[in-house]
Structure 1
Amino acid sequence: MGLTNDDYLFFKNVFENAGALDRITSFVNTTDDPPVERLLVPDMALTAAEYFAVEENKNVLVLLTDMTLYADALSIVSNRMDQIPSKDSMPGSLYSDLARLYEKAVQFPEGGSITIIAVTTLSGGDITHAIPDNTGYITEGQLFLRRDTDIGKVIIDPFRSLSRLKQLVIGKKTREDHPQVMNASIRLYADAANAKTKLENGFDLTDYDERTIKFAKNYSEKLLAIDINIDIDEMTNTAWDLLNSHFSVSEIGIKAELVEKYGNRNGN
């Protein structure tokens, strides 16, 4: 929706080079096309997904990008219809309009499923804007992407990303140490953010502060960067390596039996 010609060709070339064009159904609206057509694209894509999921028992992934431009088209149409605008000039029905699409994600008992990845860009980086705000209330979870100036890459921001269903699988479908490794890593990553604030305000850093900053940089490079593609066990092992290389056992704060079982793989 609202793709520039460059972006359209990028998607097309990526799919061609991956040899995946025969498995993809695309509905494309470019910036040259009327904005009102953007309102039709998600429904057409999801209708095609429903056919393959219900009739063919396929597992279908639906990529909707960019929902911000979809919502902008909603705003244009509603304003032309003289509807009273709501927050950020969006129509008052924005929540329902988005929910109607997002809530078509489903897994059928007899097979077949629809998974939706909806990409939403932030207007001026404002996460409180009506579009990401409503999206955050509807969807199961969000990955918040931002550029990390320390490593010069786009990373998944652990503070603004969330999953409402992770408690159903983490430590159950995944390894038992996964929850504690995750919590310890994010706590230390938060300490690094506090240390950076101290540095920016001219305060002296302690040895612990300096180690948290180094940890945060390595954590971003090896785990949070979006070009990282490793399985869940390798991810957890990498986190252990980072924790062990920067902190003592007491600073990590993970149960002793888990440290003994998983944290001493290299005899540390």
Structure 2
Amino acid sequence: MKGVVTMKLLKEGYKTIEKIAGPLLFVSKVARGGIGEIVKIESNFGEDYGQILQIVDDLCVIQVFGETMGLAPNNTVVWLERDVVKIPLGIALQGRMLNGRAMPIDGEGPISCIEKWAPIQGNAINPWRRKSPHEFIETGISTIDLMNTLVKGQKLPIFTGSGLPADKLAAQIVKYARTPATSADSSPFMVVFAALGITQREASYFREAFRESGSIYRGVFFFNLAGDPSIERILTPRMALTVAEYFAFEKGYDVLVVLTDMLHYCEALREISSAREEIPGRRGFPSYMYSDLASIYERAGCISGIKGSITQIPIVTMPDDDLTHPVPDLTGYITEGQIVMDRELHGKGIYPPIDVLSSLSRLMNKGIGEGSTVPEHRALSDQLYAAYGHFKDLVRLKTIIGEEGLTPTEMSYLSFGEKFESEFVNQGERRRSLDETLEHAWNCLLTLPKDELHRLPVNLIDEVMLKRGTKA
């Protein structure tokens, strides 16, 4: 795998290939092989590389990075490289587009000024040194910034359905996300983006969107295509996170990692598991999928005494919009909340179609309030949730008793809900600052009678009304 691993050819090779099953080679009588070790595969078709996935006695299961079509036991030699998959690291990575093997695809030539090569598995963060997430990250999206706030070091997935504009939302977050500068020594901010199993059309959309917005210059971008080998899909998020760890914990950056789509990652995991003839778990996915996903998601966080941080936004497609599907289900257990995209809102032409009632940020309180955002942030968010939830209940009631059976107060809630969806949620592709988000929130809430705003301090309501010249 040229450009990714340190090559070290040994004289000892193995021709003892028992069988070839899909992307896997089964090689017997292998001495001193190690799980995760890189191997070089020589055949009549040239050279390729692979990785040892499993060892049972002297039988090695090897995942080939390229095609196995045409390989035969009598014309193939496997060489142990005595190394693991590594990625080149250096400050020159910023602004580069790479494929799933960390090879440049942007036409800018090879990666220069390589500082070191690092294994892509990374090192687990010592729980004793793990620092609680505590600072606000502004995405420019109202439904996230005000109601499901993202915090440095958090893992906040986006759950979407087939056909919903998750790609557009991912590109928008990459373009507009930032950390508000609270002091002169604030950490610089950058994005590491990894697309997994996407089509050529989707890759072209992302590349064009990032170039047009200029966000290409403040990030590192990985593109693994649907036609690439399954093992590459397994390696790509780990490469992206190794780059993120380098910039966060060695260079002091606040790094936002966007991974899309983790369903494709898990399907690749299932494909490899099936080829290894492992006993399947739920819906055919391997039983170890939870720990495998945790090995990716838990690489987010902040470390005490180190300036940088890693924040993750994995995007997960829910087949048939099913939140109980194993991939979103397990993702929800590991991460700290979820942003849920809604098909009904999408059908109304609302973008981004985020269902705030199904969404949650469990670490929101750590990054909001006085000194971070605004003192009334929590109360304002709670009031919006309560009012929108009541609106949803009244919509169902209206279908039973009709509009004429509703009181004037209930009618004001219907006005609020329509305004909330059409003005607050439906912000389009433009970025909103937090101040603009707060302005839109108050525009919606002030359609309700003052005595219905139970979760807001009376003096705050009076102050806002006075500024707006609104009659109490």
TM-score, structure 2 as length reference: 0.53
Task: Give the 3-state SS of the residue equivalent to 1:116 in structure 2.
Answer: strand
Alpha-carbon distance in 2 for matches of 1:264, 1:86: 60
Alpha-carbon distance in 1 for matches of 2:432, 2:263: 30
1:10 maps onto 2:202 in alignment: no
| Residue equivalent to 2:357 | 159
1:189 maps onto 2:397 in alignment: no
Alpha-carbon distance in 2 for matches of 1:88, 1:225: 36
Task: Give the 3 Å change call, closer, same or farther, for CA 63–168 of structure 1 in structure 2.
Answer: closer
| Residue equivalent to 1:69 | 264
Q: Which has the higher helix share?
A: 1
Mapping of 1:195-214 within 5 angstroms?
195-201=394-400, 203-204=402-403, 205-206=405-406, 207-214=408-415
How much does 1:201 deviate? 3.8
Structure 2 runs not aligned, ≥5 long: 1-195
Alpha-carbon distance in 2 for matches of 1:87, 1:263: 54
| Structure showing greater Rg | 2
Q: Which has the higher strand share?
A: 2
| Residue equivalent to 1:217 | 418
Paired AA for residue 232 in structure 1: L
TM-score, structure 1 as length reference: 0.91
| Residue equivalent to 2:373 | 174
Question: Which moves more between the two structures, 184-193 or 210-219?
Answer: 210-219
Task: Give the 3 Å change call, closer, same or farther, for CA 243–151 of structure 1 in structure 2.
Answer: farther
Task: Give the 3 Å change call, closer, same or farther, for CA 169–37 of structure 1 in structure 2.
Answer: closer
1:138 maps onto 2:337 in alignment: no
Equivalent pair of 2:199/2:225 in contact (CA under 8 Å): yes
Residues 47-73 of structure 1: per-residue CA shift (max 9 Å, x gap): 111222233222222211100110111
| Residue equivalent to 1:101 | 296
Q: Percent identity over the alignment?
A: 33
Residues 142-166 of structure 1: per-residue CA shift (max 9 Å, x gap): 2112241445433221111111111
Task: Give the 3 Å change call, closer, same or farther, for CA 170–114 of structure 1 in structure 2.
Answer: closer
Residues 90-143 of structure 1: per-residue CA shift (max 9 Å, x gap): 211111111111111123433222222111111110011111111111112321
Alpha-carbon distance in 1 for matches of 2:215, 2:444: 36
1:34 alignment partner, one of 229, 232, 243:
229
Equivalent pair of 1:170/1:179 in contact (CA under 8 Å): yes
Alpha-carbon distance in 2 for matches of 1:132, 1:15: 27
Higher RCO (CA-CA < 8 Å; seq separation 6+):
2
| Residue equivalent to 2:452 | 251
Task: Give the 3-state SS of the residue equivalent to 1:154 in structure 2.
Answer: coil
Mapping of 1:51-130 within 5 angstroms?
51-108=246-303, 109-130=305-326
Residues 199-234 of structure 1: per-residue CA shift (max 9 Å, x gap): 334544413333322212221232223635322233
Alpha-carbon distance in 1 for matches of 2:426, 2:288: 36
Task: Give the 3-state SS of the residue equivalent to 1:155 in structure 2.
Answer: coil
Structure 1 runs not aligned, ≥5 long: none
Question: Which moves more between the two structures, 57-66 or 149-158?
Answer: 149-158
**Alignment coverage as a number of residue pairs:** 267
Paired AA for residue 416 in structure 2: F
Question: Which moves more between the two structures, 65-74 or 144-153?
Answer: 144-153
2:241 alignment partner, one of 32, 46, 50:
46
Task: Give the 3 Å change call, closer, same or farther, for CA 93–225 of structure 1 in structure 2.
Answer: farther
Alpha-carbon distance in 1 for matches of 2:224, 2:309: 25
Equivalent pair of 1:86/1:92 in contact (CA under 8 Å): yes
Alpha-carbon distance in 2 for matches of 1:176, 1:50: 33
